[in-house]
Amino acid sequence: MAIEVGTKLEGKVTGITHFGAFVDLSGGVTGLVHISEIADNYVKDVNDHLKVNDTVTVKVINVDKDGKIGLSIKQAVDRPAGEVQQQARPPRTPRPERTGGDRERFSGGTGSSGGGSYNNRERGGRPYKPSAGKPSFGKPSFEDKVSRFLKDSEERISSLKKNTEGKRGGRGAKRV
């Protein structure tokens, strides 16, 4: 008997692995039932569902060119069409509608005057203020950005130094 995709056959479980079970079909031909094709529900361990020498009904779901045969136990069971979908997944609950709060965070917030795509106040920084004396046309120049970056980094380094010096014993304190 030729093994074709879609045919249902009787077989005997000859081996069990962590990824599925090998089933001996007629004439010494063996196929694999993958762990995902054993039952409709989640299968953590194949041994909970199958034992060696169990007789099972399987459906041939694919035959590779190199002779490997893919089998399914759950597709071999005849059910009404709608039952499989309901059993496999519970219905989803709809997501709540988004409010404008997220848009404010990514657009720079209300009252900020540009400077980035993320609101600096949420990261603990200060809102962008253009440098005094230069006209602001909506976008700061490269030099303004670099000078602001240097100023912020120097402030952060100095505050880190102050915090770490206090923990190490301070300025020039002699260790005994």
Query: Is residue 83 assigned to a domain?
Result: no
**Higher pLDDT among residues 151 and 120, named by residue:** 151
Residue ending a domain, among 52, 77, 102, is 77
**Do 121 and 65 share a structural domain?**
no
**Higher pLDDT among residues 148 and 170, named by residue:** 148
pLDDT of residue 147: 93
Query: Is residue 135 assigned to a domain?
Result: yes
**Do 65 and 14 share a structural domain?**
yes
pLDDT of residue 130: 57
Contacts of 82 (CB under 8 A, 6+ apart): none
**Higher pLDDT among residues 129 and 23, named by residue:** 23
Return phi, psi of residue 33, to 5°: -100, 110
**Do 116 and 72 share a structural domain?**
no
Query: Is residue 59 assigned to a domain?
Result: yes
Query: Is residue 90 assigned to a domain?
Result: no
Contact 49, 43 (CB under 8 A): yes
Structure tokens at 151: 């100023």
pLDDT in tens, 17-74: 999 999 998 878 999 999 999 999 999 999 999 999 999 999 999 999 898 999 999 9
Distance between CA atoms of residues 42 and 31, nearest Å: 21
Write out the H or E segment, with its range, that includes residue 33.
strand 30-34
**Do 67 and 18 share a structural domain?**
yes
Contact 58, 20 (CB under 8 A): no
Owning domain of residue 54: 8-77
pLDDT in tens, 86-127: 455 566 677 777 665 555 455 554 554 455 545 555 555 666
**Higher pLDDT among residues 19 and 129, named by residue:** 19
pLDDT of residue 122: 55
Indicate the burial class of 44 (C-beta count within 10 angstroms; 0-12, 13-18, 19 or more): exposed
Contact 114, 108 (CB under 8 A): yes
pTM beyond 0.75: no
Across 61-65, 145-149, 161-165, least confident range:
161-165
Residue ending a domain, among 34, 52, 77, is 77
Q: How many domains does the chain have?
A: 2
Query: Is residue 95 assigned to a domain?
Result: no
- Taking only Cα atoms into account, the Rg of the chain, rounded to an integer number of angstroms, comes to 34
Supply the CATH number for residue 59's domain. Answer: 2.40.50.140
pLDDT of residue 27: 78
Query: Is residue 64 assigned to a domain?
Result: yes
Query: Is residue 91 assigned to a domain?
Result: no
Q: Is the confidence at residue 162, as pLDDT, over 90?
A: no
Q: How far apart, in Å, do the first and last CA atoms of the chain sit?
A: 91
Per this entry, what is the length of the chain? 176
Query: Is residue 122 assigned to a domain?
Result: yes
Contacts of 136 (CB under 8 A, 6+ apart): 113, 130
**Do 65 and 117 share a structural domain?**
no
